[in-house]
Amino acid sequence: MTEGVDAVTVLEAARQKVPAADTAVAPPLAALLELTHRCPLQCPYCSNPLELERVAHELTTESWLDVIDQLADLGILQVHLSGGEPTVRRDLPDIIRRTTERGIYNNLITSGVAIDRARFFALVTAGLDHVQLSFQDAEPASAAHISHVSDVQEKKLAFAGWVREAGLPLTVNAVMHRQNIDHIDAMIELAIELQAARLEVAHVQYYGWALANRNALMPSRAQLDATTAAVSQAREKYRGRLVIDYVVPDYYAQQPKACMGGWARQFINITPSGKVLPCHAAETITDLDFPRATQQSLRAIWYQSPAFQRFRGTAWMPEPCRSCDQREIDWGGCRCQALAIAGRASATDPACARSPLHQHMQALAAQAAGSPLVPFRYRRF
Amino acid sequence: MIPVTSCPRLSPGVKLQFDRTREQWILQAPERVFVLDDVSHEILSRCTGETSLQSLIEQLSTAFEADVAEITADVEGLLSSLIEKRVVIA
């Protein structure tokens, strides 16, 4: 999975029931529904594509409800309701209610700034299961700078209070980069103060908007190491109180991450206009033709579409991946990262120490981290 | 050690559910799914907040005609690991 940005933690999978990828295709476990690309925030590492989809192209309520029915029939267990900012959709209660009716666990991934108390409690009544709330920084002025919204922090703190009041579990999502990484301890304390059960410390991953802002965002190796140490101390200190999810960013990794749990093995992503992708960054791979939920059934897309089959399993792999003993652990890593650095989506993930471009990627990281700070290119339409 | 008088229950936002597609019991939790084997399911289906740990162990010991010490080890092992993950409250 691409931990990053709107980080969506992939499930601890039903492994014993998932057959080896080359013999049979297992049903998907989770879906990320990007209900809209509209968002009041302008974070420069947004996981949405550079080419944002307009409101006029968004799926209708009926289409989203049909998508949820199809996902339930396919065997999806969890949906992540994301964006953009999903709470700008006025039909969000209907969407949540349908997931509950179909036995799908729902997770609202939100900035918390575009909804008032009454509308939030309407989501609770509709059956909201869990909230993941993003924070740009623990320091209000810096959070305002990063999100480009002046009163962002006070709104988020109020929102977190409503989540607590509703008795819902809260995950704090902290996207870390050069301009907030030294505040990691304060971010952890913020999660504790807000009584979050989980904290995702997600380093920015560099495609799309984040790639365009790489020099403004890339931390140094020393900053990364300090963060890793802070997280490991906090895990000890808050054992049983706060669960912290943490993944090293690709540019400083030695081994690739099992991106999305493997291409088209567990996960479906649907864009605001109904494009169906194996991961939210997959559209950077422009030579794949991604199907639409309005034109084909999700079942046909999952089991038969060329885009989903392209990097599924291990048969597509080049050497040294194909004979590597990690091939069914990392599933070849991230195809978007391979494309971004190696120029080919089928190349060995440069995050892997066995990639010929591994040193090159680390040099790019060092160069970006050592560059003078440049202004953000904010995410906007 | 979990006190034997405490009544374990699932944390808010955690649901015990049968997954019809894969024909297995699962625990749905925030951004996590735990697949349950038969023993875990028997234990967790009794974590309603109304059954004490002691009574839970006695029930299982009777139902499976198993030694109390063995059941106690299974139950404590599972529940402490899920308590640490904030999936169960005791």
In this prediction the ipTM stands at: 0.92
Q: What percent of chain A clears pLDDT 90, i.e. is strictly above it?
A: 91
- If you measure CA to CA, which chain A residue comes closest to B86? A240
Mean of all residue pLDDT scores within chain A:
93
Q: Which of A17, A239, A243 lies closest to B24 in CB terms? A: A17
> Which of A12, A101, A171, A260 to substitute to test the interface with B, most B CBs within 10 Å?
A12
Can you give the pLDDT at residue A11? Answer: 40
Mutate to test the interface with B, among A11, A106, A303 (most CBs of B within 10 A): A11
List the structure tokens of A229.
């140490």
For residue A188, give the amino acid letter: I
User: C-alpha B80: how far from its chain's center?
Assistant: 10
Tokens representing A218 are: 């890339």
| SS3 of residue A278 by DSSP | coil
Question: What token pair was written down for A160?
Answer: 């977190």
Which phi and psi angles does A368 have, rounded to 5°? -65, -45
CB atoms within 10 A of CB A84: 27
Q: How far is B80 from chain A (nearest CA, A)?
A: 9
Pick from A14, A103, A171: which is nearest to B17 by CB? A103
Secondary-structure breakdown of chain A: helix, strand, coil percentages, each rounded to the nearest 5: 40, 15, 50
pLDDT at A51 over 70: yes
pLDDT value, residue A19? 42
pLDDT (tens digit, 9 = 90+) per residue, A176-229? Answer: 999 999 999 999 999 999 999 999 999 999 989 999 999 999 999 999 999 999
Contact A105 B32 (CB under 8 A): no
Residue-wise pLDDT for A142-171, tens only, equals 999 999 999 999 999 999 999 999 999 999
pLDDT at residue A381 tops 90: no
Query: Average pLDDT for residues A28-57, to the nearest whole number?
Result: 96
β-bridge pairing A78-82 and A30-34: parallel
Q: What are phi and psi of A137, to 5 degrees?
A: -170, 165
Q: Chain A interface, mutation test: which of B10, B31, B38, B79, most A Cβ atoms within 10 Å?
A: B31
In angstroms, rounded to a whole number, what is the distance separating the alpha carbons of residues A179 and A201? 15
* Separation between Cα atoms, residue A202 and residue A2, nearest integer Å: 10
Q: How many CA atoms lie within 13 A of A91 on its CB side?
A: 14
For chain A, report the end-to-end CA distance as a whole number of angstroms: 26
pLDDT tens column, A100-135: 999 999 999 999 999 999 999 999 999 999 999 999
Q: What is the pLDDT of residues B14-48, one digit of tens each?
A: 999 999 999 999 999 998 999 999 999 999 999 99
- For residue A14, the chain B residues in CB contact (below 8 A) are 19, 22, 24, 26, 33, 35
Chain A environment of B21 (Cβ under 8 Å): 27, 74-75
| CA–CA separation, A349 and A345 (whole Å) | 9
Q: Is the pLDDT of residue A4 over 70?
A: no
- By C-alpha distance, the chain A residue nearest B79 is A240
Q: Given this model, what pLDDT does residue A10 score?
A: 36
Cβ contact B8:B2 at 8 Å = yes
Angle between helix B53-63 and B68-84 (nearest 10): 130
Torsion-angle region of B11 (φ positive above 0: left; ψ -120 to 50: alpha; else: beta): beta
Taking residues A352-375, report their average pLDDT.
Answer: 95
CB contacts < 8 A, A to B, total 74
CB contact under 8 A, B33 and A77: yes
Of A284, A288, A181, A268, the residue nearest A231 (C-alpha) = A181
pLDDT band at A21 (very low <50, low <70, confident <90, very high): very low
Yes or no, beta carbons of A129 and B86 under 8 Å apart: no
As a dihedral over the C-alpha atoms of residue A164, residue A165, residue A168, residue A174, rounded to 10 degrees, the angle is -30
Q: Is the pLDDT assigned to residue A16 strictly greater than 70?
A: no
Q: What is the pLDDT of residue A23?
A: 54
Q: By CA distance, what is A100's nearest residue in B?
A: B15
Residue A247 banded pLDDT, cuts 50, 70, 90: confident
pTM of the complete model: 0.93
CB contact under 8 A, A171 and B22: no
- As a whole-number percent, the residues of chain A with pLDDT over 70 amount to 94
pLDDT attached to residue A249: 86
**How much helix, strand and coil, in percent to the nearest 5, is found in chain B?**
40, 25, 40
Alpha-helix residue ranges (DSSP H) falling in chain A: 61-74, 92-101, 117-126, 140-147, 152-165, 184-193, 209-212, 214-217, 221-237, 298-304, 306-309, 327-330, 335-342, 358-370
Instruction: Check B86 against A197: CB less than 8 A apart.
Output: yes
- Cβ within 8 Å of B, A 46-65: none
